[in-house]
Amino acid sequence: MANRFRGGVHPDDSKSTSTHVISRLEPAENLILSLSQHIGAPSRPEVSVGDRVLKYELIASPGGFVSMALHAPTSGTVRAIEPSPHPSGRFITAIIIEPDGLDEAIDLTDRADPELTGGPEAWKAIIRDSGIVGMGGAAFPTHVKLSPPEDKPIDLIVANGVECEPYLTADHRLMLESPDEILGGLLLAMEIVGAKKAVVGIEANKPDAAEVMSRSDLPEGVSVQVLPVMYPQGAEKQLIQALTGREVPTGGLPMDVGVVVQNVGTLAAINQAVRAGRPMIERVMTLGGPLPRGPGNYLVWIGTPLSHVVEQSGGLTGPAARLINGGPMMGQALAGLDSPVTKGTSGLLAFGPGDLRPLKQRACIRCGSCVKVCPASLLPHTLGNMVEFQLFDQLREFNINDCIECGSCAYVCPADRNMVQFIRQGKGELLAMAGK
Amino acid sequence: MTMSTVLAPSPHVRSSVTIETAMYGVLIALLPGALVGAYYFGLNALKVMAVSIIACLIFEGLVLKIRGRDMSPLKDGSAVLTGLLLAMNLPSNIPWWMVVIGSLVAIGIGKQVYGGLGYNPFNPALVARVFLLISFPVAMTSWPVPKPLSFSLDTVTGATPLGEMKTSLLMAGNVGAAANMNLVDPLIGNMGGSLGEVGALALALGGIYLLARKIITWHIPVSFLFTVFGMTGVYWLINPERYAPPTFHIVTGGLMLGAFFMATDYVTSPITTKGMIIFGIGCGAITVFIRLFGGYPEGVSFAILLMNAATPIIDRYTRPRVFGYPTRKEART
C-alpha cells in the first residue's frame, strides 16, 4: 500500500447487515417525490394534480444545469404538489403520487442504447435525462461531474466502494450482487471522460466484495484496490489521496488532479440508464442500528416514506431516541419518519435511549487528538474555540473552509465538543460576513 | 408511534475516551513513583500526598462555588491529579500548612482564575511548587534522607545528588563524588529529593504505561530526555571534572517526573507533534543550562514553566500544512 490519506479514525464498523441480501418491500401507499433531493436548483414539475403517470415517466425536469430530472417510480395518480416533509427537517415542495398498484411502465426502448453506439455526448444526455445523482450521500448531479472542461483532462475514474460509514452496507451488497452493472457503468464513465484507467477502491472489511469485483475478465485499465479500513476514506479527496497520492488543491475538485470519483451505486445507475433506458427511480438503502426488527438492505422506490420502510420491515423494538438519515458519522438526525427516501438516502439508522453515549460538552483540554485525526490537517480545536468565543474574523486564516465536516475530530474529542456544529456555525458566520 | 428523538449534530457515535480516561490514566501511571516515595520517605510522604490531594479537591470545590459553577469538575480527576503531582514535587518533611498553601496556589492561581481546566497557561502543580520554593526556600530544600519503610515522622535531612554536586563545584571546583555515584540508587529511588521524583525506574514505568495507553505520545518526553542527555554528554566529554556524566543527569532530580508527567500536560504543552518536539528540546535545554550554570541545582520546573509560556507561539508557528495547499518547497518554486 503506497499511499494513505492523512488522519482518520476507526469507529466500530457495526456492519452486521452486510450478510442481508438486497430485498424489496411492499409498495407504499403514497410517494413523496421532493423537488430538492440533490445539490443544485430545484426540479421543475411537469405534471399537474390529478394527472395519471406511468412508471419511468418524467414528472419534473431540471431547473438548471446543476439540477435533476425526476421520474415516477410506478404508475399512479398525482395527488398533490405541495410542501412536504424533507430529510432536512424543512418542508419542501414535492410531487405526491398515489400508486395504483399496476406498475404500468412507459416504453423505454427509445431511451436506451443497448449496443452502446451513441457515444459520450449521447450517453451524457441519457444520464442527465435519467435524473442520476451521486448516490453516496451528497447527491450531486452525475452528468455535471462527467462534464469536465476541456482544460481538465481526466486520466482516472475512481469507483468508490469504500462505504466507510459504520452500519451502512448498501454499496457492499450491490458490489456482491450486481458487479456487472457497476463495471458496465464504470466503462461508460471512462469512455465519457476519456479516462484510460479506472480503479475500484474497497476497504479491507469487505473482502468478499473485493473478490467479486476483481474478476479475471476485468477490462484493460481497470483494477481493484483493497484499502485498510479507516474513516473517512470514502470522502472523495481522501480516497483520491489514498489511491493515487494526489492531493486535490484547496477549493478545487477531483477533476483538478485528473480524477472523477463515482460511487458504485451511481455507476450501476448509469449502466441501467444507458443500456436499458431506465431512469433513477429506486435505490438500495440500509436499515440499521439496534432498534429495527428487520434490519437489512432494501431496494426502495424514491419517495417511499421512511415510516413505511420501518413498518414494512417489522417496525422498531422500542421508542427511538435518535434517527439518522445516512451513516452515524455524517448523517443527519431526523425528527421523525415522515420524510421520504431520496436519491441520496444511503441508510436509515434507529438508536434507542441507551444506545448512544450521553455527551457532556466541556472546555477543550488541548489534548491534540483532533489535530491528529483531521484528514485536512486543520486545527479543529482552534476553530471550535474561535467560534465558541466569537472570533469569527480569524476563522479564514485557520482554513475553516477546508473542513469536510467528516466529524473525526468530534468522534475522538474527550471533552465531547460538538466540533462539527462549531465549524458549520463558523462557516455560516463567514458567509454572513461576506454577504454584508 | 410517537417518538421524541434528539436532533444532535453529527457525528452520532463517539469514541469512549473522555477527559476522565486521561486524568485517571495519569493517576494510575503515577502510582509506582508514589509508592517508591512512600517506601523511602514513609508516613511523611503519605501525609503530604493525602493533604495535597484533599486540599486541592476542597479548593477546587470552593472556587467552583464562588464562580457559581456546578461541581462536576470535581469528578474529572484533574484536581486529584494536580494534588498528587504537587505532593510528588515536595520534600516529604514539608509542614502540612505549606502543602495547603501550595494547593491553594495550584488550584486558585494556577488553574481556576483562568477559567478552570483547559484554560490555564501554566502547569498548576508547577506554579505552586515554584511559589513554595521562592516563599519557603529552606523548607523546600531540606531533603530527608531516604530510609526504607520508616514510619517515624522524625527525619534526618541531607542534600540531593544534584545539590551535592553544585556545592562541590562551588567549594572544590569539581563535580565531586556525587556525580560519579552508583546509579542504582537514583534508579530505584534511594536518594534525597522530592518525595515523588526519586525512583527514576518507577517513573519511567509509569511513562511507558502512558505511552502504551496512548494517553501521551513520545514526542515531548523523548525530545526532553534526549536533549538533556545529549547536552550534558557534550559538556561531560569536554570537561568531566566540571560536568557530571549524562547518565547521572538523566536519573537524578525531577527529570523523569517532569518529562513524563509535567511537560506532557495537555493543556499547557503544544498541540502539534512538531511543536511538541520543539517544546521538549526547549525544556531539556533550559533544564541543562540551569543545572550546569544556574544558581539552583535543579531546573526542570522552571524549564517547563518557561516553555509553557512559549506554547502559544510554538503552536502558531508549527501549524501543519493544510490539505490541498502547496508544501513550503512547492510554494518557493
Burial code (b: 16+ CB inside 10 Å, e: under 16) for A276-299 equals ebbbbbbbbbbbbbbbbebbbbbb
Residue of B nearest to A378 (CA): B322
Which positions ≥6 away from A116 have C-beta within 8 Å?
A123, A188, A274, A275
Could you tell me which residues of chain B have a Cβ less than 8 Å from any Cβ in chain A?
1-19, 21-22, 72, 76, 115-119, 266-267, 269, 271-272, 315, 319-325
Pick A328's closest partner by Cβ from B9, B13, B18: B13
The one-letter amino acid at A177: E
CB-nearest partner of A362 from B19, B22, B324: B19
Rg (CA), chain B: 21
Predicted confidence (pLDDT) per residue in A4-33, tens digit: 899 999 999 999 999 999 999 999 999 999
Phi first, then psi: give them for residue A20, nearest 5 degrees. Answer: -85, 115
Contacts of B9 in chain A (CB under 8 A): 333, 418, 420-421, 424
Residues A222 and A186 sit within 8 Å (Cβ to Cβ):
yes
**Residue B3: its pLDDT value, please?**
62
- Please check whether residue A135 is in contact with residue A263, taking contact to mean a CB–CB distance below 8 angstroms: yes
List CB contacts (< 8 A) between B72 and chain A. Answer: 360
DSSP one-letter string for A91-103: EEEEEEEEE-S--
Instruction: Out of B2, B14, B321, name the one closest to residue A416 (CB).
Output: B14
- Cα-Cα-Cα-Cα torsion B324, B325, B326, B328, nearest 10 degrees, comes to -130
State the pLDDT at residue B145: 87
CA distance B306 to chain A (A): 18
- Region A244-249: mean pLDDT is 95
Contact B10 A407 (CB under 8 A): yes
Torsion from C-alpha of B24, B28, B29, B34, nearest 10 degrees: 120
**Chain A, nearest residue to B324 by Cα:** A249
Please tell me the predicted confidence (pLDDT) of residue A2: 52
Within chain A, which residue ranges are assigned CATH 3.40.50.11540? 120-276
Q: Please tell me the distance in Å from B237's CA to the nearest CA on chain A.
A: 38
Count chain A–chain B contacts defined by CB atoms under 8 A. 157
B185 — pLDDT class (breaks 50, 70, 90): confident
Rounded to 10 deg, the angle between the B78-88 and B96-104 helix axes is: 130
Residues 6+ away with beta carbon under 8 Å from B197: B33, B88, B89, B203, B253, B254, B256, B257
Average pLDDT of the segment spanning B283-296: 94
Number of Cα atoms under 13 Å in the Cβ half of residue B194: 30
Closest CA to A68 of A131, A147, A142, A146: A131
pLDDT in tens, B60-106: 999 999 999 999 999 999 999 999 999 999 999 999 999 999 999 99
Q: What is the pLDDT of residue B2?
A: 53
Give the up-direction half-sphere exposure of residue B257: CA atoms within 13 A in the CB hemisphere. 33
Distance CA A329, CA B14 (A): 9
- Residues A48 and A273: their CA atoms lie apart, in Å, by 26
- The percent of residues above 70 in pLDDT, for chain A, comes to 99
Across the interface, do B12 and A333 touch by the CB < 8 Å criterion? yes
pLDDT for the residue B327: 83
Determine the average pLDDT of the residues in A380-403: 95
> So what CATH class is A120-276?
alpha beta
Nearest CB to A421 within list B9, B17, B321: B9
User: What CA–CA distance (Å, rounded) separates B284 from B221?
Assistant: 9
Residue A364, min C-alpha distance to chain B (Å): 6
List CB contacts (< 8 A) between B266 and chain A. 365-368
* Interchain CB distance below 8 Å, B272 and A368: yes
Q: In the prediction, which pLDDT does A1 show? A: 47
Residues of A in contact with B279 (CB under 8 A): none
The predicted-structure confidence for B105-153, as pLDDT tens digits, reads as follows 999 999 999 999 999 999 999 999 999 999 999 999 888 888 887 766 6
Cβ(A328)–Cβ(B13) below 8 Å: yes
Contact present, A16 and A292 (Cβ < 8 Å) = no
Give the model's pLDDT for residue A215.
Answer: 83
**pLDDT of B332 higher than 80:** no
Phi, psi of B9 (to 5 degrees): -70, 155
Cis preceding linkage at B246, omega within 30:
no
Residues B156/B144, Cβ–Cβ less than 8 Å: yes
Contact B324 A250 (CB under 8 A): yes
- A53 pLDDT tier (thresholds 50, 70, 90): very high
pLDDT computed for residue A436 by the predictor: 67
Chain B residues lying within 8 Å of A332, measured CB to CB: 10
- In chain B, which residue's Cα lies nearest the Cα of A380? B271
Res. A288: pLDDT tops 70: yes
Cβ-contact A274, A261 below 8 angstroms: no
pLDDT higher than 80, residue B11: yes
Note whether A368 contacts B118, CB cutoff 8 Å. no
Tally of CB atoms within 10 A around A341: 28
Flag if B324 and A249 touch (Cβ within 8 Å): yes
Distances (CA, A) of A2 to A235, A237, A241, A244, A366: 19, 16, 10, 8, 32
Contacts of B14 in chain A (CB under 8 A): 356-357, 359, 410-411, 413, 416
Choose, out of A367, A388, A408, the residue to mutate when testing the contact with B (most B CBs < 10 Å): A367
* Separation CA A103–CA A81 (nearest Å): 21
Share of chain B above pLDDT 70, in %: 98
A367·B22 Cβ contact <8 A:
yes
Chain B neighbors of A415, CB-CB under 8 A: 18-19, 118
- Chain B residue numbers touching A378 (CB-CB < 8 A): 322
CB contact under 8 A, A365 and B22: yes
Q: Residue A267's closest CA among A298, A165, A37, A275?
A: A275
Whether complex ipTM tops 0.85: yes
Of A6, A349, A363, the CB nearest to B323: A6
Mean pLDDT of chain A: 94
Question: What number of other Cβ atoms are within 10 A of residue A320's Cβ?
Answer: 27
For the entire predicted model, the pTM comes to: 0.93
> Measured between CA atoms, how close is B4 to chain A, in angstroms?
6
The answer to whether the CB atoms of B7 and A333 lie below 8 A apart is yes
CB B222 within 8 A of CB B235: no
| Most A-contacting residue of B4, B323, B330 (CB-CB within 10 A), to test interface | B323
Calculate how close chain B gets to A414, using CA atoms only, in Å.
4
Mean pLDDT of A351-367: 93
In the block, residue with C-alpha cell 457497476:
A182
pLDDT, tens digit, for every residue of B22-65?
999 999 999 999 999 999 999 999 999 999 999 999 999 999 99
DSSP A353: T
